[in-house]
């Protein structure tokens, strides 16, 4: 499902549209969405659809619509240092965005039913860490994925600050999901066709809020027909960072502060980031709603009354703007990775420099 916002031509335009439609409302969520290109999580032959506000499924690989993910991210109210559990972690797209907010001292775990999807998620995670232009702007809480049915998590597992379930939850499993939460924690899940936010306010006290109507495939029930025994899912241990990791985090943090201070002294202002290149105008497009039902797809289009009347005028106006726009204005300068440049300039042995840069290719 999806289609709440217009299609974008690239990841930034998709995020602009989600902001304009009030699906993305906070700076932390916006930064995470801009940092990870949704198209990187698509198979190559399907990337043309990456910036449409639609769900995508191919075999066991699945991505929810961008408007759904943005509502989930906002509802989770993520903060650095929290623990997060993603039930049905899929491609790892959502877990990676969450990891950018949790930072180096958070916990980021995922449970996925299909082994091929876990392998796909690990490949995409590795690609993001090694090649993303935006990786060095954050300290990342790398997600860990385990295989298994999320309805068979070991009862002795730790509880989490934030939990998300990416499949439809039946009423009979509501208490099971709630018990995964710490007091003060937030659970977001599709419950009885509604994306629902549940906050644990006490040992036996809860606050429930319905966010929006959704249609998710239901959770797959455990099948014990073969062995007759439950296959408990054991989540990764909450490990303490090594001294080596802590040193890297501290050094990178210090270098970022130095770069920020140098930037402020040169520019005379406190901008956190240089202004992002933005397109001149947002062209309104017709909204599409796609509903998946088993293997059939039903589509409907909804257009506002003013769309057809103004469409020809908008096209002419856009043509006029394009004629007036100079080629130099169309292409922004490529982003500069100041952290990488600073690390490479340090009087350190090359192996240590590469370690500080996570052995990244860019």
Does residue 312 have an active-site annotation? no
Identify the CA nearest to 85 among candidates 71, 99, 75. Answer: 99
Instruction: Say how many CA atoms lie within 13 Å of 90 toward its Cβ.
Output: 23
Extract the tokens encoding 138.
């954050």
Q: Is 137 left (phi over 0), alpha (psi -120 to 50) or beta?
A: alpha
Q: Which residues have C-beta within 8 Å of that of residue 39, sequence separation ≥ 6?
A: 11, 47, 50, 51
Give the active site residue among 6, 64, 95, 96. Answer: 64
Pairing of strands 107-112, 83-87: parallel
Tell me the two tokens of residue 266: 């040169």
Exposed e or buried b per residue across 65-80, where buried means at least 16 C-beta atoms within 10 angstroms of its C-beta: bbbbbbbbbbbbbbee
Q: Give dist(CA 128, CA 77) in Å, integer.
A: 24
Contact between 104 and 141 (Cβ < 8 Å): yes
Q: For residue 322, what are its two tokens?
A: 């394009």
Instruction: Determine contact, residues 49/42, Cβ cutoff 8 Å.
Output: yes
Instruction: Report the catalytic residues.
Output: 64
């Amino acid at each position: 499902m999806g289609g709440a916002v217009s299609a974008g031509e690239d990841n930034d335009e998709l995020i602009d549209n989600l902001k304009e439609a009030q699906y993305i409302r906070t700076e932390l969520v916006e930064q995470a969405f801009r940092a990870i290109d949704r198209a990187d999580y698509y198979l190559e032959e399907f990337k043309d659809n990456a910036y449409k506000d639609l769900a995508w499924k191919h075999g066991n690989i699945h991505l929810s619509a961008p408007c759904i993910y943005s509502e989930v991210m906002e509802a989770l109210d993520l903060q650095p240092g929290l623990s997060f559990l993603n039930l049905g972690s899929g491609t790892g797209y959502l877990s990676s965005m969450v990891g950018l907010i949790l930072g180096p001292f958070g916990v980021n775990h995922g449970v996925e039913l299909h082994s091929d999807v876990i392998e796909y998620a690990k490949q995409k995670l590795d690609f993001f860490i090694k090649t993303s232009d935006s990786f060095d702007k954050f300290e990342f809480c790398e997600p860990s994925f385990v295989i298994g049915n999320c309805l068979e998590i070991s009862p002795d597992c730790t509880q989490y600050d934030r939990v998300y379930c990416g499949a439809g939850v039946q009423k009979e499993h509501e208490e099971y999901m709630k018990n995964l939460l710490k007091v003060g924690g937030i659970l977001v899940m599709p419950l009885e066709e509604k994306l629902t936010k549940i906050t644990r306010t006490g040992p036996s006290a809860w606050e429930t809020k319905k966010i929006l109507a959704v249609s998710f495939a239901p959770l797959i029930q455990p099948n014990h027909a073969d062995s007759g025994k439950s296959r408990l899912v054991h989540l990764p241990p909450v490990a303490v960072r090594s001294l080596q990791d802590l040193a890297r985090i501290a050094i990178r943090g210090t270098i970022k502060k130095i770069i920020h201070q140098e930037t402020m002294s040169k520019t005379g202002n406190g901008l956190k980031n240089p202004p992002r290149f933005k397109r001149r105008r947002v062209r309104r497009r017709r909204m599409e709603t796609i509903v998946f039902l088993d293997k059939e797809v039903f589509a409907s289009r909804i257009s506002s009354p003013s769309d057809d009347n103004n469409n020809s005028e908008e096209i002419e106006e856009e043509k006029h703007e394009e004629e007036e726009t100079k080629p130099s204005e169309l292409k922004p300068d490529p982003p500069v990775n100041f952290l990488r440049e600073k690390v490479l300039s340090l009087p350190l042995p090359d192996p240590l420099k590469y370690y500080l840069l996570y052995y990244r290719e860019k």
